[in-house]
Amino acid sequence: MRSSTRSVTALTAALVLAVPFATASADVDGSGGPPATQAEQSRGNSYHLSDSTSRHTAHVLTYGRPGDDTLVGDWDGDGVDTLAVRRGSTYHFTNSFRGGDADVVVTYGRPDDVVLVGDWDGDGVDTLAVRRGKTYHVKDSLDGGPADRVLTFGRAQDEVLVGDWNGDGTDSLAVRRGADYHVSDSLRSGPADRVVRYGRADDEVYVGDFTGSGRDALAVRRGAAYHLLHELRSGPADRRVMFGRPGDAALVGDWDGDGTDSLGVRRTSEVGSAPEPQVPEVPDVEFDQPLAIPPLADSTVDDEGTRVFQLTAQEGTSSFLPGVETETWGFDGDFLGPTLRAERGERVAVEFTNTLEESTSVHWHGMHLPPEMDGGPHQEVPAGGSWRPTWLVDQPAATLWYHPHPHGRTEKHVYMGLSGLFLIDDEESAASGLPDEYGVDDIPLVVQDKAFTEDGQLTLASAVPSGVMGERIMVNGTVGAVQEVTSERVRLRILNGSTLRSYNFGFSDDRSFQLVATDGGLLTGPHETTRIQLSPGERAEIVVEMAPGEETMLRSYPQHLGDITDPEGYGALDTLDVLRLVAAPELTASAEVPGTLADGERLDEADATVERTFVMKNMRLNGQLMDMARVDEVVTVDTTEIWVVRNEDRMPHNWHIHDVQFEVLSVDGEAPPPELRGRKDTIYTEPGREYRLIMRFEHYTSTEYPYMYHCHLLRHEDFGLMGQFVVVEPGTEVPDTLPVDDHGH
């Protein structure tokens, strides 16, 4: 799949030497380069390489010495680009990112030659060429012998580029004159094969295969913005990405061997200072708006001991952007809803009123409860109507949430702002010693992305058919949010409340944190990590430690969405700032996170009596679209089942089941990663992989009211990527069609 070619390296000496270099903690070798001065040794030369499709978002390393030029290439033909440094006419090549000594050292050409890197003979290994005026001396192997070929191309004063312009597996030359690129499809003397015009005459230009097509194209850089072409042609850019800082020296390479080139920067910094991460995609937000904390919902306890909440869906306006009123919907307010909170063992009731001009519903996402209380499409509440679901809270402590689920309109209702959290407490969570002072050291974060029209209204217009990828990130409705941290440890309860976008959360200084809970509650013990990826509807609770006076940014990093056809369209490459955390000069003490959090009782695969398979393919679920009147699956109460889920589309889907929390038995036959070992109700399903889930159905039965399972990418759900199951007593006859009352439509 991968192009055997390279991208850019030393396009011109000026470009490679755009920043001063400095020393490395990992010296390349002892052979011959100029020794570093003391002053130079006090500074480090670090490389920050983005890795667009890997879960490991970046290589950060130091390499080489002051004065070295940096080259990028695949020196050993393994499909991965690595670094080399040049000192005069000596080249030090590494074949991995492990640091340490060079793997190969060769001498070639003269110290003042301009050097080029390319796979000139198509063998998958990059080698060197040196340029003297318009003459190119080309080597086909990485050794110090004489040139294998000599050719002339262009004019002596032209800037030259190297790339595989036609996808034939060999690199050839192009020369640049202003904004015109004279491209030769084969490495030979003679005139160019074609001319393309791109960018401006004063742009810095880079070469890379940014789509994995096997053909190289151009990118121009303006500050930290890169305007990428997906194929070599005249015309406007296909994509714009932000990366690094304006003063960085840029590198292009395939750092992970996936066949797609991505960006890297080289930067000089003080030795030992923390690597500076990528800048966010939307750099014009200050992150000085105090984070809104959803209020805890009031409740009363009635004579029977039921905790009663009231909730009203209503229209309102919010000011997300300075000076602009945006029409929004909320529960008990203009946007989002209050946090409901109850103890395991309590009976709750919610008196819900719909003051919208259309029907809606309130679904209790993640809750184990009777199907007629579930708030799915069978419990729509008409405009002006009300509904009073009641149930016994009987499941472990967890961060659940609630949102509308009207048939075919869930995306719009959630997007307009109808969502809130529902926290369950129990003895285990109380005993855990985890931070639990709501809004102080236990902070809910409803993370959403929004797109706005020019006049500042929310819009569902989208570039990808699956829904909106908003360019504004908000937390609890606050854009550019900052939260003061007043304790040594803070617990963040993160909900991906977006309709389509997944996030790969981490911190700007790459500090680690403890993952303590997933959708359905506490993990058996904390999992220390630097990233947690959440698809729409998923939750994670993390505990972050802070030192007095420091600050860090909760950020979403590039992420792995699997083998999808349009990773950039689905935000896999995005870096987005989410929430700035600023620690007070003095912090109150917090208990350490205990090694054991929950009892760890697991469902036993041997108890499973039924296995069902669900395939999402061509935007159908097992070949069908949702039908409110059709029962897709009949489950017997008090049984354990295995559901095997596969996404056979090359787009993102995830998978959510109502009523139960499931456990992940395996992903493609392998034990799940730590973040998928806890109780889950929603899971991202990478294309082509098989997810085996185990769950137990208990307590509630009905032949009339089903529960749902579906993709939680809400436009997909609305489209019909959803099915229904009923849970019944053993031996119950289930009618073929369900009563569907269509009030409200």
- Note the residues at the interface with ligand C2O (CB under 6 A): 363, 365, 403, 405, 537, 656, 658, 708, 710, 712
- Nearest-approach distance from CB 481 to ligand C2O, in angstroms: 23
Asked if residue 542 lies in contact with residue 529, where contact means CB atoms within 8 angstroms, the answer is no
Nearer Cβ to ligand C2O (378/403): 403
Nearer Cβ to Cu ion (363/716): 716
* Among Cu ion, ligand C2O, none, partner that 227 touches (CB below 5 to 8 angstroms by kind): none
Asked if residue 217 lies in contact with residue 196, where contact means CB atoms within 8 angstroms, the answer is no
- Nearest-approach distance from CB 96 to ligand C2O, in angstroms: 43
- Nearest-approach distance from CB 656 to ligand C2O, in angstroms: 5
* Among Cu ion, ligand C2O, none, partner that 413 touches (CB below 5 to 8 angstroms by kind): none
Nearer Cβ to ligand C2O (531/656): 656
- Nearest-approach distance from CB 499 to ligand C2O, in angstroms: 11
What gap in Å lies between CA 620 and CA 15, rounded to an integer? 50
Nearer Cβ to ligand C2O (193/372): 372
Asked if residue 121 lies in contact with residue 5, where contact means CB atoms within 8 angstroms, the answer is no
Nearer Cβ to Cu ion (62/685): 685
What gap in Å lies between CA 684 and CA 656, rounded to an integer? 9
* Among ligand C2O, Cu ion, none, partner that 446 touches (CB below 5 to 8 angstroms by kind): none
Determine how β-strand 539-545 pairs with β-strand 489-496: antiparallel
Q: Which stretch binds Cu ion (CB under 5 A): 148-156, 492-500, 579-587, 650-658?
A: 650-658
Site membership for Cu ion, residue 646 (CB under 5 A): no
CA distances from 432 to 42, 436, 516, 527, 677 (A): 45, 10, 10, 15, 19
Residues 6+ apart with CB under 8 A from 496: 447, 502, 503, 534, 535, 536, 537, 538, 539
Residues 6+ apart with CB under 8 A from 8: 72, 161, 162, 163, 206, 207, 208, 251, 252
- Nearest-approach distance from CB 658 to ligand C2O, in angstroms: 6
Q: Beta-carbon neighbour count of residue 638 at 10 Å? A: 12
* Among Cu ion, ligand C2O, none, partner that 8 touches (CB below 5 to 8 angstroms by kind): none
* Among Cu ion, ligand C2O, none, partner that 713 touches (CB below 5 to 8 angstroms by kind): Cu ion
Q: What is the DSSP string of 266-323?
A: EEEEETTPPPP-PPPS-TT----EEPP-PPBPPEEE-TTS-EEEEEEEEEEEE--STT
What gap in Å lies between CA 224 and CA 228, rounded to an integer? 13
Residues 6+ apart with CB under 8 A from 512: 528, 529, 530
- Nearest-approach distance from CB 470 to ligand C2O, in angstroms: 19
Out of 138, 711, 727, 738, name the contact with Cu ion by CB under 5 A: 711
* Among ligand C2O, Cu ion, none, partner that 653 touches (CB below 5 to 8 angstroms by kind): Cu ion
Nearer Cβ to ligand C2O (241/708): 708
Question: Would you call 13 helix, strand, or coil by DSSP?
Answer: helix
Nearer Cβ to ligand C2O (221/405): 405
Q: Which stretch binds Cu ion (CB under 5 A): 421-429, 562-570, 594-602, 712-720?
A: 712-720
- Nearest-approach distance from CB 337 to ligand C2O, in angstroms: 14
- Nearest-approach distance from CB 655 to Cu ion, in angstroms: 9
- Nearest-approach distance from CB 519 to ligand C2O, in angstroms: 10
Nearer Cβ to ligand C2O (163/370): 370
According to DSSP, the residues that pair with 503 across neighbouring strands are 534
- Nearest-approach distance from CB 502 to ligand C2O, in angstroms: 15
- Nearest-approach distance from CB 403 to ligand C2O, in angstroms: 6
* Among Cu ion, ligand C2O, none, partner that 658 touches (CB below 5 to 8 angstroms by kind): ligand C2O
Residues 6+ apart with CB under 8 A from 342: 299, 307, 348, 393, 422, 423, 424, 425
Q: Beta-carbon neighbour count of residue 393 at 10 Å? A: 21
Q: Which stretch binds Cu ion (CB under 5 A): 279-287, 488-496, 500-508, 710-718?
A: 710-718
Q: What order of strands is seen across the sheet that includes strand 398-403? A: 340-343, 420-425, 398-403, 363-365
- For 430, the token pair is 């109380």
- Nearest-approach distance from CB 424 to ligand C2O, in angstroms: 16
CA distances from 661 to 109, 581, 600, 645, 678 (A): 65, 32, 14, 15, 9
Site membership for Cu ion, residue 356 (CB under 5 A): no
Site membership for Cu ion, residue 683 (CB under 5 A): no
Nearer Cβ to Cu ion (17/615): 615
Site membership for Cu ion, residue 653 (CB under 5 A): yes
Binding residues among 567-586 for Cu ion as defined by CB under 5 A: none
- Nearest-approach distance from CB 363 to ligand C2O, in angstroms: 5
The amino acid that residue 661 corresponds to is Q
Residues 6+ apart with CB under 8 A from 444: 293, 294, 339, 399, 421, 423, 438, 476, 493, 495
Q: What is the DSSP string of 80-105?
A: --EEEEEETTEEEE-SSSS-SS-SEE
What gap in Å lies between CA 106 and CA 724, rounded to an integer? 66
* Among ligand C2O, Cu ion, none, partner that 710 touches (CB below 5 to 8 angstroms by kind): ligand C2O
Question: Would you call 433 helix, strand, or coil by DSSP?
Answer: coil
Nearer Cβ to ligand C2O (501/527): 501
- By CB under 5 A, the count of residues binding Cu ion is 4
Out of 339, 581, 716, 738, name the contact with Cu ion by CB under 5 A: 716
Q: Is 79 exposed, middle or buried (0-12, 13-18, 19+ CB in 10 A)?
A: middle
Q: What order of strands is seen across the sheet that includes strand 69-73? A: 69-73, 82-87, 90-93, 104-107
* Among ligand C2O, Cu ion, none, partner that 711 touches (CB below 5 to 8 angstroms by kind): Cu ion
* Among Cu ion, ligand C2O, none, partner that 716 touches (CB below 5 to 8 angstroms by kind): Cu ion
Residues 6+ apart with CB under 8 A from 338: 294, 295, 296, 297, 298, 311, 331, 332, 420
- Nearest-approach distance from CB 93 to ligand C2O, in angstroms: 52
Site membership for Cu ion, residue 713 (CB under 5 A): yes
Q: Which stretch binds Cu ion (CB under 5 A): 218-226, 281-289, 402-410, 652-660?
A: 652-660
* Among ligand C2O, Cu ion, none, partner that 405 touches (CB below 5 to 8 angstroms by kind): ligand C2O
- For 467, the token pair is 């829904």
What gap in Å lies between CA 48 and CA 573, rounded to an integer? 15
Nearer Cβ to ligand C2O (546/708): 708
Q: Which stretch binds Cu ion (CB under 5 A): 190-198, 300-308, 322-330, 647-655?
A: 647-655
Nearest position to ligand C2O, beta carbon: 365
Question: Would you call 118 helix, strand, or coil by DSSP?
Answer: strand
Q: Beta-carbon neighbour count of residue 310 at 10 Å? A: 18
What gap in Å lies between CA 392 and CA 411, rounded to an integer? 29
- Nearest-approach distance from CB 187 to ligand C2O, in angstroms: 56
The amino acid that residue 455 corresponds to is D
Nearer Cβ to ligand C2O (66/537): 537
Nearer Cβ to Cu ion (465/600): 465
Nearer Cβ to Cu ion (130/561): 561
Query: What is the enclosing helix (H) or strand (E) of 576?
Result: strand 576-588
- Nearest-approach distance from CB 741 to ligand C2O, in angstroms: 19
Please name which of 373, 386, 383 lies closest in space to residue 744, comparing C-alpha atoms. Answer: 383
- Nearest-approach distance from CB 655 to ligand C2O, in angstroms: 11
* Among Cu ion, ligand C2O, none, partner that 656 touches (CB below 5 to 8 angstroms by kind): ligand C2O
* Among ligand C2O, Cu ion, none, partner that 516 touches (CB below 5 to 8 angstroms by kind): none
Contact residues for Cu ion (CB under 5 A)? 653, 711, 713, 716
